Amino acid sequence: MTLRLSVLDQSPVRKGGTAAQAVAETLELAKLCDQFGYHRYWLAEHHSSAALAGSAPEVLMTRVAALTSHMRIGSGGVMLPHYSAFKVAENFRMLETLFPGRIDLGIGRAPGSDQRTMRVLADGRSNWARPESYPYQVRDLVAWLHDALPDSHLGRGVTAQPTGPTAPDVWLLGSSDESAALAAHFGLPFCFAHFINPDGGDVATRAYRARFRPSALHAEPVAMMAVTVLCADTDEEANLLATSREVWAMRLLSRGEAGPVPSVEEALVEAKAPEAERWLPKLRRRSIVGSRKTVRMGLEEHAARHQVDEVMAVTICYAFEKRKRSYQLLAEEFDLAPP
C-alpha cells in the first residue's frame, strides 16, 4: 500500500513568540509542504487560545491556497455548531470558485474553545445545547453546497452563491465512533482524530467502512486519520523535541493552562515533576516520534490497523526550523514529490 501523506496545521504559538508569527509560519510551512509533495494542507479552528492562533480557517485558507499550487487546501475543521450551515456553504462555495477542485471542507462538532468562549461564540443560539441538531446541519450543508435542497425544505429557493460546476469535498472529523457513524450514514469521507484520542480509532474506522452507505458524492468509503508526528535526524533528538508539546498538553489537560508551547529546556525541567510520570506516557500514545525510519514504521502500522491509506501529520515543537525539518524528513522518507 502506498501511504498518502497530508498536513494538519494548528498554527502553534511558542513561548516568547506571537500569534502573528504563528500565522506567518503557517504560510511558510504551507509553501514548503507544497514543494515537498504533500497531498492536503488543512487548517484548524481554535478560539481564544494563547497556544493555537488559527481561529478562522476559511479566511486563512484563501492565503494558503494562493501561495500553493498542488495541495488540496481545507479546514480541519470548521466547528459547525457555532455557525449557520448556509453561511458555511457560502464561504466554501466562494473558496471553491476561487480555487476550483482544490478545496476540502472538514467539519466537526467540538467547540474548539473553553466553555466561556463557546457561550460567547453562540451569542444566544442553542445548537450546542441541542446536539441532535448537528446531523441536520450536516445534511443541509451538503445540500446547499450542491444546490440540492429537497422541495419540502424551508430554505428551498435560497442559493449558496457563487454556484458553479464543482463543490468542496466534505469530510466529517471526529475522535469517536459517533462521528464515524454519521459519516457512514451520509456517505461522506471520515477522518479520525488520533491526536486527540488514541483509543478506539481502529474500531471507529472499521465500523465506518462496514456501515458506509454509498451516496451521490461517494460510492466507496474514504477514511483518513490525523496523528501527532515529530520526525528528527535521530530518535534521541526527536524524543527531546517532543517534550515541548507533551508538557504543553499536560498543562492544558491536567491544569487547564492553555499557554504557549514551552521551550525544550523549560519542558525538560517540568518533565521531572511528579505529575509528569502519570501524564507524559499517556500523551506519547497520541504521537509517533523518532527518526524517519522509526516514524515511517509507526505510520504504516497505524494506517494498516485503522484501514486508512492517508495520514495527516500534526507536528508541534518549539523551534520552527525543527518543525519544518520534521516535514522535510517525512517527505524524503516516503519519496514524496509534487505532481
Cell of 173: 472529523
Q: What's residue 255's pLDDT? A: 86
State percent of the chain over pLDDT 70.
96
CATH number at residue 16: 3.20.20.30
With respect to residue 267, please indicate whether it lies within any of the assigned structural domains. Answer: no
**Largest distance between two CA atoms of the chain:** 63
Closest CA relative to residue 190, chosen from 223, 226, 225, 142: 223
For 108, the 3-state DSSP assignment is strand
| 306 located within any domain | yes
Whether 194 and 226 have beta carbons less than 8 Å apart is answered as yes
CA–CA gap between residue 71 and residue 64 (Å, rounded): 10
Residue 133 lies in a domain: yes
Question: Tens digits of per-residue pLDDT, 243-301?
Answer: 999 999 999 988 888 899 999 999 999 999 888 988 999 899 989 999 999 999 999 99
Q: Let me know if residue 163 belongs to a domain.
A: yes
**How does residue 44 score in pLDDT terms, banded at 50, 70 and 90?**
very high
Exposed e or buried b per residue across 70-104, where buried means at least 16 C-beta atoms within 10 angstroms of its C-beta = bbbbbbbbbbbbbbebbebbbbbbbbbeebeebbb
Using left for φ > 0, alpha for ψ between -120 and 50, and beta otherwise, residue 147 falls in: left
Confidence at residue 1, expressed as pLDDT on a 0 to 100 scale: 59
Average pLDDT over residues 24-47: 97
| Domain assignment of residue 276, yes or no | no
Is residue 185's pLDDT more than 60? yes
Cα(250)–Cα(198) distance, rounded to whole angstroms? 15
Residue 247 lies in a domain: no
Can you tell me the mean pLDDT for 52-73? 97
pLDDT of 231-241, one tens digit each?
999 999 999 99
pLDDT at 162 over 70: yes
pTM: 0.95
pLDDT of residue 228: 97
Taking the C-alpha atoms of residue 245 and residue 229, their distance in angstroms, rounded to an integer, is 11
Tally of structural domains, the chain: 1
Asked if pLDDT for residue 110 goes beyond 60, the answer is yes
Q: What residue numbers bound the domain in which 326 lies?
A: 4-233+287-333
Supply the mean pLDDT for the chain.
93
pLDDT confidence bin for 339, thresholds 50/70/90:
confident
For residue 112, the model assigns a pLDDT of 57
Whether the per-residue pLDDT at 113 is higher than 90: the answer is: no
pLDDT at 217 over 60: yes
Domain membership flag for residue 245: no
So what's the pLDDT on residue 256? Answer: 85
Is pLDDT larger for residue 275 or for residue 138? Answer: 138
Q: What is the pLDDT of residue 157?
A: 84
Which range is least confidently modeled, 106-120, 154-168, 303-317?
A: 106-120
What pLDDT does 133 receive?
86
What is the pLDDT, as a whole number, of residue 331? 98
297 inside domain: yes
